Amino acid sequence: MALSTAESRLNSGLLPVQHGFKSQVFLSGKAQNDSLPLGTDIVTADLPYSLICPISVLGVSGLHVDTDSCLTSTGVEYGYGVVDVVGFFYQFHVHHIDRGLKLAPSGKWSRLNWELDRNDLVSVFVKGLEKHLGLEKFKAKTYWDAVNMLLANLLAVHNSSSQLLLSRRSGKHKNNNPAGIDNRVIKTVADYLADQGFINLYVGRPNDADKNSSWCVPLPSLIAAIDRYDAKIRLHEKTQLAVVRDADDNAIPMYTNKKKRLALARYGQPVKRHYETWLSHTATLDGRYLLPWLRRLFNRNMDLGGRFYGDYQNIPSADRKRILIDGERTVELDYASIHVALLYARKGLPLNGDAYVVDGHERSTFKSICLKLINAENEGSLKAIITTSGKPKTKQAVKEYKEKRQQYDHDKVLNPNEKEPHKSKPVKNFIDNIPDGAKGEELLAILKDRHHPIREFFHGQNIGLKLQKDDSELMANVLTKLDGIPCLPVHDSIRCRVSDMEQVTNAMIDAFKELHSQNIVITNDLVVSS
């Protein structure tokens, strides 16, 4: 595809790029030097592009927005005033895409429990929508919820340099939709925002799997309006903070049993306190705002799982080191060998020494095996996987797959029809750090001997999910102790400001001692400058 006039001007530097948007990646061939103009400036993770930029771009200079009026990006006056955007903008903001294309490589589905904290800004957009639709009976509350939700989601994808996926099918999403917003209303609002030049909207064809989803990206006119109001994203007041998922990872309806319903609400209290703390703090990565919120997710019932999950946890650990809280450098504090320590605690015993150190062997080997051993319910299969992982042939296959996968991640942005590389069973099950020619039976025997006091727990039914319940209760205790201190839990670790390091460390140690009557080691990733 040839570059348009706008893209040419953008790439020549005539139009400054604002709000994190980078140059268009739909080119006719590979980019210069075989690299794509996307990703972070600092690549520290295994993946070459850990943070992906959007594939639609607009450069605007001299932005001026009169947001005391009813908004329009093209200077159309509704009788309340005029928004003036000086510079180049696209004339058409709605694009229909072929059913075979999948054009949002970093897309995120809309979160229907998100909204903005500025009702006056939402009101301006709702007034504009009412004028635009010209309906005799305009259900303001219905559209208010949808406008509020969409604006919040558009701000979120702008901050994360991604695309917003939208469903245009009839009906409503049941999960995580406290306002009961219907997809048809979302469609109407999205079409309005595109018509007024606030978003670029790409409309896909309906299909059962939503593989060709409709998606959009915010344009600078919208971001300028949001910035003018200094609007922030918040959670809907009726958001369910603790959720039980079924075997297919779908959220089950809220319990009708009063006792269970109250118990689930109690499990969500640490999430609520964490959310309230973050209302007065900010987290950023490379200048982009992160949403620090959590949900607590259980598996099948409230005895399994229960860990705290947040979007920021998807950031590779190497990139998380650059997260700032309130502009301050951060450190990640980690429970050492948490699940092994929890199993010893079940026996009333302390974990002595490093759980993964065995004389004559690499620590990384037994760390990799131990993590699999605790969660594996079939010992015979695990032995076979370890043995296969130690074969040079398997290691070569894994290396080749990673190279193909990296190339695929590179090329799929240029060619949405690029075929994903096949992942064989040995590659799927591969365990890192297994020595060449190692035998699974021998290594498992060594590890079980190292941890003889707890070997009865290995291969237990749902033991992995039961341990997740234990470590989630531990984290809930820590978050309660840290009420008022902004932090970012990542399952058994916590990222916090360096200035809070001592207090967070003590809270983690005290919480473990209170629950399990044992001491535990806390590690950190702090690198001290010379």
DSSP letter for each residue of 81-127: ---EE-S---S--EEE--TT----TT-EE--TTEEES-HHHHHHHHH
* pLDDT confidence band for 92 (50 / 70 / 90): low
Q: Are 386 and 444 in contact (CB under 8 A)?
A: yes
Q: What is the pLDDT of residue 521?
A: 93
DSSP state letter for 31 = P
Percent of the chain with pLDDT over 90: 56
* pLDDT confidence band for 27 (50 / 70 / 90): very low
Q: What is the pLDDT of residue 229?
A: 92
**pLDDT tops 70 at residue 74:** no
Q: What is the pLDDT of residue 18?
A: 33
Q: What is the pLDDT of residue 102?
A: 58
**E strand or H helix at 320, and its extent?**
helix 317-320
pLDDT tens-place string over residues 292-318? 999 999 999 999 999 999 989 988 889
**Mean local confidence (pLDDT), 391-415:** 88
Query: Please, what are the domains in the chain?
Result: 5-234 (no CATH), 240-345+464-524 (3.30.70), 356-450 (no CATH)
Q: Are 16 and 59 in contact (CB under 8 A)?
A: yes
Query: Which of 64-68, 111-115, 255-259, 352-356 is predicted least confidently?
Result: 64-68
**pLDDT tops 80 at residue 77:** no
> Average model confidence (pLDDT) for the chain?
80
Q: What is the pLDDT of residue 62?
A: 33
Q: Which is more confidently placed, 94 or 354?
A: 354
Q: Are 158 and 223 in contact (CB under 8 A)?
A: yes
Query: Which of 45-59, 332-346, 397-411 is predicted least confidently?
Result: 45-59
Query: Which of 41-50, 162-171, 180-189, 491-500 is predicted least confidently?
Result: 41-50
Q: What is the pLDDT of residue 306?
A: 94
**Mean local confidence (pLDDT), 422-429:** 94
Q: What is the pLDDT of residue 55?
A: 33
The separation between the first and the last C-alpha atoms of the chain, rounded to the nearest angstrom, is 50
* pLDDT confidence band for 475 (50 / 70 / 90): very high
**Mean local confidence (pLDDT), 35-45:** 37
**For residue 133, what are the contacts with CB-CB under 8 A and spacing of at least 6?**
188, 192
Q: What is the pLDDT of residue 211?
A: 59
Q: Are 86 and 220 in contact (CB under 8 A)?
A: no
**Mean local confidence (pLDDT), 421-429:** 94
pLDDT tens-place string over residues 330-389? 999 999 999 999 999 999 999 988 999 988 889 999 999 988 888 887 889 999 999 999
**pLDDT tops 60 at residue 398:** yes
**Mean local confidence (pLDDT), 112-130:** 94
